[in-house]
Amino acid sequence: MTIINACWLFIKSYFSKLYAVYFIRWQISTLVMMPFMYVLDSLGLPVIPNLIIAQTIGSIIFFRLDKLIFNFFDRIKSLKKDSKTD
């Protein structure tokens, strides 16, 4: 496999419904975490601790959502496999 083919396969893997859903979720998480970062910034907290705290809050909020997204797509994949074997 050439480097060009490997790069194309890597890029091609991003053209999927799963990536589109994850991309949208990622953008939503920016909007959700922005108020926390704004409050922490207005309290005079430096950027690095601010980011760590906001990311921690974001991970708590989006942990369940990510599980739902990936479980949903796993169920779809398993249903497709089951229908192909029938």
Number of structural domains (the chain) is 1
Q: Is the pTM of this model over 0.85?
A: no
Quick one: pLDDT at residue 14? 73
pLDDT: which is higher, 51 or 19: 51
Give residue-wise pLDDT tens across range 45-84. 999 999 899 889 888 888 888 888 778 878 887 877 777 7
Distance (Å) of CA 75 to CA 23, 63, 70, 86: 20, 18, 9, 17
Domain span at residue 57? 16-85
How far apart (Å, rounded) are the C-alpha atoms in residues 75 and 47? Answer: 40
> pLDDT above 70 covers what percent of the chain?
97
26 domain residue, yes or no: yes
Q: What is the mean pLDDT of residues 31-57?
A: 90
39 domain residue, yes or no: yes
2 domain residue, yes or no: no
7 domain residue, yes or no: no
